[in-house]
Amino acid sequence: MEPKAAQRLAMRVSWVSIVWNLLLSAFKLFAGVFARSGAMISDAVHSASDVFSTLIVIAGVRLAGRASDREHPYGHERFECVAALLLAAVLFVTGLGIGWAGVRKILNPGVHPGVPGVLALIAAVVSIAVKEAMYWYTRSAARRIRSSVLIADAWHHRSDALSSVGSFAGILGARLGLPILDPIASVIICLFILKAAVDICRDAVSKLTDHACDAETAAALRALILEQEGVLGIDQLKTRLFGERIYVDVEIRADALVSLRRAHAAAQRVHDAIETRFPQVKHCMVHVNPVEPPA
């Protein structure tokens, strides 16, 4: 997908997330107050806080989409990785908060409030369904445009869904006389969220440190280069990730007896083929090494 189209898709997904989070927060807040459920009120606040995370996504996508300038000749794509790191940090803190609240309830049961109404259970189920759907919607878009920041935002949706699972367990446990279900669910959910935060952080750091692209992409690049007329072989192929884009440096072999014009034409064919077949490649540098043709 072209960079501009990818940016438009990311922005559309982000605004859809904001609208749904606001609607869901209002519904859960109403259900929590009406059904006398402190867990559902807390869940509503959690959903509302996800709007802040999506605003980070919007800022990261906008900054990453800025054109190259004199101070940033290679562009601004790495701002998206920075935004992903921020979201991973927020997600990590969210997971710790859920886990710590669960541990405190296990160690200090205290006095439990009154039994919440059925509306709170319904709101928890609705929240789980909506947030899980938003997770898959955002994740699908993230994979289409290879966006680490959208992957991080998708996991924020899933963390909210998992939080609602904890709320459901707590509300159901209170209605069944088993309030211990809530903190146990919270601790388990915490572990899932922390793992997701660590995975997102590792992916973003990898892209910030000029990591090579995956083996499948490198193999496809190599095969495409060898298909081009005038290419007798490949001496070296190097790739590096710059945010979500790829830079390619390749040294090809060309007949030492042909003219400079023909050697340059072979290099140009390699350059054009790579940037056409692989839209995620931002720039391709081709160097020609002369070799004696086979007898």
Task: Give dist(CA 32, CA 24) in Å, integer.
Answer: 12
Cα distances from 243 to residues 5, 23, 161, 295, in angstroms, run 17, 33, 28, 45
Q: Summarize the confidence of residues 151-167 as an average pLDDT.
A: 81
Which sequence spans correspond to the domains of the chain? 3-208, 215-291
pTM: 0.64
- pLDDT score, position 253: 92
Q: Summarize the confidence of residues 96-123 as an average pLDDT.
A: 75
User: What is the tens place of the pLDDT at every residue in 193-237?
Assistant: 788 788 878 877 877 777 788 888 999 999 999 999 999 999 999
Q: Summarize the confidence of residues 36-47 as an average pLDDT.
A: 70
Joined together, the tokens standing for residue 179 give: 């309030």
Task: Give dist(CA 49, CA 36) in Å, integer.
Answer: 21
User: What is the tens place of the pLDDT at every residue in 121-143?
Assistant: 888 899 899 989 999 999 998 88
Comparing 185-194, 260-269, 282-291, which segment has the lowest mean pLDDT?
185-194
Cα distances from 171 to residues 21, 49, 126, 127, 264, in angstroms, run 21, 22, 14, 14, 71
- pLDDT score, position 114: 56
CATH architecture of 3-208: Up-down Bundle (1.20)
Report yes or no: 76 and 59 within 8 Å, Cβ to Cβ.
Answer: no
Residue 250 has pLDDT above 90, yes or no: yes
Residue 251, SS3 per DSSP:
strand
- pLDDT score, position 272: 93
- What does pLDDT average to over the chain? 81
Report yes or no: 201 and 85 within 8 Å, Cβ to Cβ.
Answer: yes
| Domain 215-291, CATH number (from 3.20.20.100, 3.40.640.10, 3.30.70.1350, 3.90.950.10) | 3.30.70.1350
DSSP assignment of 47-113 equals: HHHHHHHHHHHHHHHHHHTSPP-SS-TT-STHHHHHHHHHHHHHHHHHHHHHHHHHHHHHH------
Q: How many CB atoms lie within 10 A of CB 37?
A: 28
